[in-house]
Structure 1
Amino acid sequence: MEELSSSRYINLFTDFGFKRIFGTERNQDLLLDFLNAILEREQDPLVKIEYKDKEQVGRDADERRAVFDLYCENEKGERFIIELQKVLQQHFKDRNLYYATFALQEQAQKGKAWDYALQPVYSIALMNFVFEEAYPDQVISRVEPRERSTNRLFHDKLFFVYVEMPKFKKKFSELAGNLERWLYVFQNMHRLDKAPEEIRKGVF
């Protein structure tokens, strides 16, 4: 059960707050702005998305299902999975990979010849724990399939973004850019008595 709060502003790092703000059609502009920031889509910004069923069933009754926090698709067919993870879970990276396969498998075209062409899948995890204490300044890890010897991108259809929120320690006066403002909001919005003017502008 989520803790009740007397805060003026909603806590985005709760299941209720996260889905209330990002999981409704009327707030689609907020989700679009966040996705464009976290995915660095300045050159190819997302302009419209469709919310999809968050529960994905297996291929048969015995196969495990996947339940996403948020799952959406844009007009190009690109899929976006957004997960909020408050506590460290054993094999979390493996679970994240397993969940992403559902967004790939559902693209299979049934009943006709299919050439296996896929649209990209982006899996974004906002975490209230850290993976690597050895890299205290690396808040965001962007993971993609690369060829080891040349470091070139080998495949452009599966991407992971991990945000280790405890590593983000900037004060409001130190924020630079829209992405850092979003991270600040995730961490601190519920603690504020009044939202700073810079945050209240635009989508905020």
Structure 2
Amino acid sequence: MEKYVNIMLDKAFKTVFGEKQVAIDFINATLEGERQVKDLTYLDKEIQPEVIEQRTVIFDLLCEDADGSKFVLEMQNCPQHYFFNRGFYYICRLVSRQGESGADWKYSLLPVYGIYLLNFSLPEFQSWRTDVV
């Protein structure tokens, strides 16, 4: 019998990081020196397509802090060679949803953070901030 929970399993990941204080502590540790989150609100994990040709996006966990910044927490256990593009697409969908109609919009966009726990390496991430454990 295992002594610890394997958070690389989908149910365990969502259960552990579904606890608000655990998610806050994890985000703060990951973004140490960049930003500190004091409170989070969990959002609907599903984003419907804006047009019929788009795909529905389903996040593992999607959170928002007090200033409206978004945090995507994703875990991927099995290698996916297209994960870089998938993660980038997820972030882009959240950014594009910030658009407002009308002439008064100043294109002020709030930050969107993608924190991905992968059980494999991707060469595309070599120039990005990565922490390998």
Q: TM-score range by the shorter chain?
A: 0.7 to 0.9
Alpha-carbon separation, structure 2, partners of 1:49 and 1:112: 31
Amino acid at match of 1:30: V
For residues 3-82 of structure 1, what are the structure 2 equivalents within 5 Å? Answer: 6-23=1-18, 27-41=19-33, 44-82=35-73
Report deviation, 1:76.
Answer: 0.8
Report deviation, 1:111.
Answer: 6.3
Alpha-carbon separation, structure 1, partners of 2:79 and 2:93: 22
Report deviation, 1:7.
Answer: 2.5
TM-score (norm 2): 0.86
Consecutive unaligned residues of structure 2, counting only runs of 5 or more, are none
Contact 2:84 2:122 in 1 (8 A): no
Report deviation, 1:100.
Answer: 0.6
Alpha-carbon separation, structure 1, partners of 2:126 and 2:67: 25
TM-score (norm 1): 0.58
Q: Report the secondary structure of 1:72's partner residue.
A: strand
Contact 2:77 2:118 in 1 (8 A): yes
Q: Give the direction of change, closer, same or farther, for the CA distance of 1:40–1:162 in structure 2 (3 Å limit).
A: same
Report deviation, 1:106.
Answer: 1.5
Consecutive unaligned residues of structure 1, counting only runs of 5 or more, are 1-5, 133-139, 144-160, 169-204
